[in-house]
Homo-oligomer: A and B are copies of this chain.
């Protein structure tokens, strides 16, 4: 939602572009049965042996969200939980052969959706856009302000 649409302001521009891009990404990945999270986990799990906690951190997810994401990957036959050889509490997420193939496809989809969005911009604008956003992400907009959450009551 736009805080104020009278002047095209930064909040509106960022909210709107990220939201629309997200819906496009979800629709495109949905065609091969993936969510953005599943794609994210697949790609990072392929890079090297990683535990659920490590993958959760990389994808900026809660560990409980990670559980359902891995459940979905496992159910789809794209990844498996394997006991870590060094820590019996931890599970290594191993990508299956099918999972590796799907990850290749999903990365293509992600790249295409991004390329499609950026294609409408002149070359020089595209470059500056990415550089400026990166500057914001690593600089002034690096850290979210955490909201004061009301304490949750204990479960029954």
Q: Which residues of A are at the interface with B, using a C-beta cutoff of 8 A?
A: 1-6, 8-27, 36-37, 39-40, 43-44, 47, 58-61, 107, 110, 113-114, 116-121, 124-126, 128-137, 139-147
Q: How many copies does the complex hold?
A: 2
The A interface, classified by DSSP as helix, strand, loop or mixed, is helix
Partner of A23, one of B17, B140, B145: B145
| Minimum CB distance partner of A118 in chain B | B10
Contact of B27 with A133 in the complex, beta carbons under 8 Å: no
Which of A3, A10, A37, A60 has its CB near the most chain B CB atoms (within 10 A)? A3
**Do A19 and B132 form a contact, CB below 8 Å, given A3-B36, A43-B6?**
no
4 more CB-based (< 8 A) A-B contacts, given A2-B60, A18-B19: A1-B36, A3-B110, A18-B18, A116-B140
- Neighbouring B residues of A4 by C-beta, 8 Å: 39-40, 43-44, 107, 110
- Neighbouring B residues of A8 by C-beta, 8 Å: 130, 134, 137
